[in-house]
A and B are shown apart, each in its own frame.
Chain A
Amino acid sequence: MNRLDQTLARLRGEKRSALATYFTAGDPDFDTSLRLLQGLAAAGADVIELGMPFSDPVADGVVIQAAHLRALAGGQTVRRTLELVARLRETDDVTPVVLMGYFNPVLQYGVERFLGDARRAGVDALLLVDLTVEPAAPYVAAAQETGIHLIRMTAPTTDEARLSTVLDGASGFVYHVSLTGTTGAARSAAAVPLQALARLRRHTDLPLALGFGIREASQIAALAGAVDLIVVGSRLVETLAASGVDGALQQVRDFAHVLR
């Protein structure tokens, strides 16, 4: 049981959905990013999702693309992202950290070396959007050994037959993409994708996360209780860019309030 398992088990007991907040590591620079992360738990974030910047984030919309480029321009690297988590752990050793990103920077770092260093830094789970179940197979054992969950994603396009493949051996939680689109899609998802969630429930007992296109407190209110984790990303990244750390933390508080 790592921090993620403990947090999700506790919230399940409380019958409360977790608020998972996404920000990009090093956006716009290391120190700002650290200050933000240090404030997240107190503001009400239950799970911290931290994006690892990549030059070509094809699954992301304009807001998160821009955050990745700002972070890279600010000198962020894979090593610095792990350092950021290690620094966060000096003041917060409870809130789970899920790293999200693309495969190539991890591949260049060395997957096994990355998993070891990530565990030492205090990472609980890893989600690589372009490493689906098939190409991830060679790395599953190494992840299990380090105790870092390799998170699987499902999408509205994932059909019944494929769902079994995707969920076979899944751990931590299952991240369901709420709409066919990139992050921060302008059109918001159907209020609660009940059918999709029910289908997932038939296949797994793992906690379910829902993300992509969740921008408003009203959406969070509608989803409360229906999923285990509610992921908000682009909206928070936008606020951070426009209003800085204090503005972003205030928005996290507003969203967290809806769930308590």
Chain B
Amino acid sequence: MSSSSQPYCGEGPDAAGLFGRFGGCYMPETLMPALEKLTLAFEAACADPAFWQRYREILTDYVGRPSPLFFAANLSADLGGARIYLKREDLNHTGAHKINNCVGQILLAQRMGKSRIIAETGAGQHGVATATVCALFGMECVIFMGAEDMERQSANVQRMRLLGAEVRAVHTGTATLKDAMNEALRDWITHVDSSYYLLGTAAGPHPYPRLVRDFQRVIGLETREQMLSKTGRLPDAMVACIGGGSNAIGFFHPLLGDPEVRCYGVEAGGLGLDSGKHAASLGGGRPGVLHGNMTYLLQDEDGQIQNAHSVSAGLDYPGIGPEHAQLFESGRVRYESVTDAEALEAFHWLCRREGILPALESAHALAYVRKLAPTLPADSLLVVCLSGRGDKDLATVLHYQENAA
């Protein structure tokens, strides 16, 4: 932990893309000029009010924002502690927070004159969101997805194909998100002039961690406003799940400067941190370089990247966004983990008590709420980012139940 008196509160990155010592740009030379151009294009877009106006227009009329903030009375009663609110990203068009980032980036791609979009996907939510904006903007779309993930998320594969995307199965390595990202990068190296790499999480080389965060900040900005108008004050605690960490960074970032708001990121603990089968990069990893950035990684002593494990395909990644690594070391955000089994229990709990099917990713955040809320006073306010809906996970949940029975 850093000993500085002022913790890092989201001021980064610097011009080199660093959040403290994390982030940066570790990529083959072939991609460096493209990343520089992307940085310049993003900065120009940021300074252009028309760009943001178009972004907000699409979020309002197409995505359906603002997403509601729902008071979960039954959950609150069950736990007997904090008043629990759900930020309903699951109600966005395409069913998750991923679309916020895709809208921003497709506008950027259009500004840059690109016509071919490539992306990686784990659970398929980012793939579906990318295929969706590509259909809307009439762009060619190629999605890289691990073969194992294609099996556990077959409905999303069908959705992407219906939307006109080509889905390429990745068989290398563990055939999950990490390998899909390797393949997307290889494709980008090969087609760098024509293609725009629409990265799905707040990780990867600079400027992606900043760019994805800025397109996801809408979650936190709305939450702040909605909490103030519903309750007259800011929340005491915010909880979000973390794979790469895009929903969490977008949710937390606008409130990091309010020290009274405590933030909790929940990593996927898989079969438990001691089992070695988990996806908790902060809980069980150490700093290193993968996919263009310095961050916490699951790796062996030799620096070889280890396989992540999670029941949730969207969290099944051995790294984490670099800004989370910095928030972790500075102590501004606390990072916890819950197991597959705890996440599945929380999945059922939300289904039965509030009539909402959460994504297994989001169920990790809810599982931690079950531990946290009872420890908080009854007048405290807790908001959970319900980052996605769970229809895509039915097969996984049913499979797990059968095997557990």
| Interface residue ranges, A against B (CB under 8 Å) | 53-59, 61-62, 65, 69, 72, 77-79, 102-109, 129-132, 134-135, 153-159, 162, 166, 177, 180-182, 185
Extra 11 A-B pairs, beta carbons < 8 Å, given A108-B303, A153-B29: A65-B172, A72-B304, A102-B289, A104-B303, A105-B302, A108-B301, A155-B28, A155-B29, A157-B34, A157-B193, A181-B190
> In chain B, residues 314-335, which have Cβ atoms closer than 8 Å to a Cβ of chain A?
none
* 7 intermolecular pairs with C-beta atoms under 8 Å apart: A55-B305, A61-B186, A105-B304, A107-B303, A132-B29, A134-B25, A182-B190
Instruction: Decide if B71 is an interface residue (CB 8 Å cutoff).
Output: no
Contacts of A102 in B (CB 8 A): 289
Contact for B26 among A53, A130, A166, CB less than 8 A: A130
| Known contacts A158-B32, A182-B189; is-contact A132 B27 (Cβ 8 Å) | yes
Determine the distance from Cα of A61 to Cα of B288 in the docked complex, in whole angstroms: 23
Is there contact, CB below 8 Å, between A135 and B26? yes
CB A220 to nearest CB in B, in angstroms, measures 23
Q: Which of A107, A135, A153: most chain B Cβ within 10 A?
A: A135
Indicate whether B185 reaches chain A with its CB closer than 8 angstroms.
yes
- Are B301 and A58 neighbours in the complex by a CB distance under 8 Å? no
The contact of A157 among B33, B172, B178, B185, by CB within 8 Å, is: B33
Contact B292 A130 (CB under 8 A): yes
Of B30, B191, B292, B304, chain A has the most CB atoms within 10 Å of the CB of: B30
- The answer to whether residues A132 and B32 also contact, given A72-B304, A77-B302, A182-B190 and a CB cut-off of 8 A, is yes
B182 at interface, CB cutoff 8 A: yes
Is A185 a contact partner of B304 (Cβ separation < 8 A)?
A: no
Q: How far is the CA of A158 from the CA of B32 in the complex (A)?
A: 8
Task: Enumerate chain A residues within 8 angstroms of B25, measured Cβ to Cβ.
Answer: 132, 134-135
Are A106 and B303 in contact, CB atoms less than 8 angstroms apart? yes
Return the contact of A159 from the options B26, B28, B33 (Cβ within 8 A): B33
- CB neighbours (8 Å) of A53 from chain B are 304
- Closest-by-CB residue of A relative to B287 is A107
The residue that A103 contacts in the complex, of B33, B289, B305, with Cβ under 8 A, is B289
Contact (Cβ within 8 A) A103 B302: no
User: Which residues does B use to contact A, with CB under 8 Å?
Assistant: 16, 24-34, 36, 172-173, 178, 182, 185-186, 189-193, 288-292, 297, 299, 301-305
A182 touches B173 (CB 8 A): no
Q: A56-B173, A104-B289, A105-B302 are contacts. A153–B28 as well, Cβ < 8 Å?
A: yes
Q: Which residues of A contact B291 (CB under 8 A)?
A: 56, 58
CB distance from B98 to the nearest CB of A (A): 23
A157–B192 CB distance below 8 A: yes
B320: shortest Cβ distance to chain A, in Å? 15
Q: Please name the residue on chain B nearest to A176 by beta carbon.
A: B29
B-side contacts of A166, CB under 8 Å = 29
Cβ of A129: which chain B residues have Cβ within 8 Å of it? 28-29
CA distance A72 to B182 in the complex (A): 18
Nearest-Cβ distance from residue A20 to partner chain B, whole angstroms: 18
Q: In the complex, what's the smallest C-beta–C-beta distance from A184 to chain B, in angstroms?
A: 11
Q: How far is the CB of B385 from chain A (nearest CB, A)?
A: 29
Could you tell me the distance between the alpha carbons of A77 and B303 in the complex, rounded to whole angstroms? 9
Chain A residues within an 8 Å CB radius of B304: 53-55, 72, 105
On chain A, the residues within 8 Å of B26 by CB distance are 103, 130-132, 135
Contact of A180 among B16, B27, B30, B185 (CB under 8 A): B30
Q: Which residues of B contact A158 (CB under 8 A)?
A: 29, 32-33
Q: Which residue of A lies closest to B30 (CB)?
A: A155
Measured between beta carbons, the chain A residues less than 8 angstroms from B173 are 55-56, 69
Contact B290 A56 (CB under 8 A): yes
A residues less than 8 Å from B172 (CB atoms): 62, 65
Contacts of B301 in A (CB 8 A): 108
Q: From the candidates B16, B178, B190, B305, name the one contacting A185 in the complex (CB within 8 A).
A: B190
- Minimum CB–CB distance from B94 to chain A (whole Å) comes to 28
Of the listed residues A58, A102, A153, A155, the one surrounded by the most CB atoms of chain B closer than 10 A to its CB is A58
B26, B173, B178 pick with most chain A CB within 10 angstroms: B26
Q: How far is the CB of A180 from chain B (nearest CB, A)?
A: 6
CB distance from A100 to the nearest CB of B (A): 12
B182 to chain A, nearest CB (A): 5
Contact for B29 among A57, A58, A154, CB less than 8 A: A154
Known: A61-B186, A135-B26. A130 touches B289 (CB 8 A): yes
Asked if A134 and B303 sit within 8 Å, CB to CB, the answer is: no
User: Taking the nearest CB of chain B, how far is it from the CB of A61, in angstroms?
Assistant: 7
